[in-house]
Structure 1
Amino acid sequence: MDKNQLINAINTAYEKFKDIHDGDNASYIPFLAQVPAELTGLCFVSVTGEVHTVGDTDYSFAIESISKVITLALALKQHGAKEVHDKIGADATGLPFNSVMALELHNDKPLSPLVNAGAMATTSLIKADGAEDRWQQILSMQSAMAGSQIMLSKDVNDSEQMTNTHNKAIALLLQSSGSMYSDPFQACDVYTRQCSTLYNCVELATTGACLANGGVNPVSGETILSADLVPRLLAEMMTEGLYERSGDWAFEVGLPGKSGVGGGLLAVIPNVGALAAFSPPLDVAGNSVRGQLMIKSVANDMNWNLFNSVAH
Structure 2
Amino acid sequence: MREMLKKIIMDNRELTKKGRVADYIPALSKANPEDLGICVIDMNNNVYTAGDYNKKFTIQSISKTVALMLAIMDNGEEKVFNKVGMEPTGDAFNSIYKLETKDIAKPLNPMINAGAIAVSSLIKGNSSEERFERLLSLFRKISSNDNLKVNEEVYLSEKKTGNKNRAMGYLLKDMGVLEGNVEETLDIYFKQCSIEVDCVDIANIGLFLANGGTILETGEDIVTEHVARIVKTFMVTCGMYDSSGEFAIRVGIPAKSGVGGGIMGAVPHRIGIGIYGPALDEKGNSVAGYGVLRDLSKELNLSIF
Decide: shared fold, TM above 0.5.
Answer: yes
Residue 86 of structure 1 aligns with an amino acid whose one-letter code is N
Whether the 8 Å CA contact 1:90–1:239 is kept in 2: the answer is no
**1:91-144 deviations in Å (ceiling 9; x for gaps):** 112101111113123545111111110001000011221211111011111111
Matched residue of 2:265: which SS?
strand
The one-letter amino acid paired with 2:157 is: S
* CA shift in 2, pair 1:173/1:108, >3 Å: farther
Residue from 44, 56, 59 that aligns with 2:40? 44
- How far the C-alpha of 1:220 sits from its partner, in A, is 4.3
C-alpha distance after superposition, 1:136-173 (max 9, x if no partner): 01111111111102111111111111111111110011
Q: Secondary structure at the match of 2:99?
A: helix
User: Shift of residue 267 of structure 1?
Assistant: 1.3
Query: What is the match of residue 3 of structure 1?
Result: none
Give the partner amino acid of 1:113: P
1:140 aligns with 2:99: no
Equivalent position to 2:29, from 19, 30, 33: 33
Percent identical residues: 34
Aligned to 2:220: 222
After superposition, the CA RMSD in angstroms is 1.3
Secondary structure of the residue aligned to 1:228 is: helix
Alignment of 1:1-312 (within 5 A): 6-20=1-15, 21-105=17-101, 106-107=103-104, 109-149=106-146, 150-307=148-305
What SS does the corresponding residue of 2:169 show, helix, strand or coil? helix
Structure 1: give runs of 5+ residues left out of the alignment.
1-5, 308-312
Q: Distance in 1 between matches of 2:105 and 2:28?
A: 30
Question: Scaled by the length of structure 2, what TM-score is found?
Answer: 0.96
Runs of 4+ more than 4 Å apart: none
For 1:82 and 1:235, the matched residues in 2 are separated by 17
* Deviations, residues 182-211 of structure 1 (Å, cap 9, x unaligned): 211111111000000100000110001000
Q: In structure 1, how many angstroms separate the alpha carbons of the residues matched to 2:71 and 2:118?
A: 10
TM-score, length basis structure 1: 0.93
CA contact (8 A) 2:117 2:169 kept: yes
Deviates more, 1:47-56 or 1:198-207: 47-56
In 2: Cα distance, 1:208 partner to 1:289 partner: 20
| Contact persistence 1:210–1:224 (CA under 8 A) | no
Q: How many residues align?
A: 302
Equivalent residue letter for 2:82: D
Say if 1:108 and 1:173, in contact at 8 Å, map to a contact too: no
- 1:46 Cα deviation after fit: 1.5
Instruction: Give 2:133's aligned amino acid.
Output: Q
Question: Which amino acid is the alignment partner of residue 141 of structure 1?
Answer: L
CA distance in 2, matches of 1:296, 1:83: 36
Does the CA-based 8 Å contact 2:98-2:104 persist in structure 1?
no
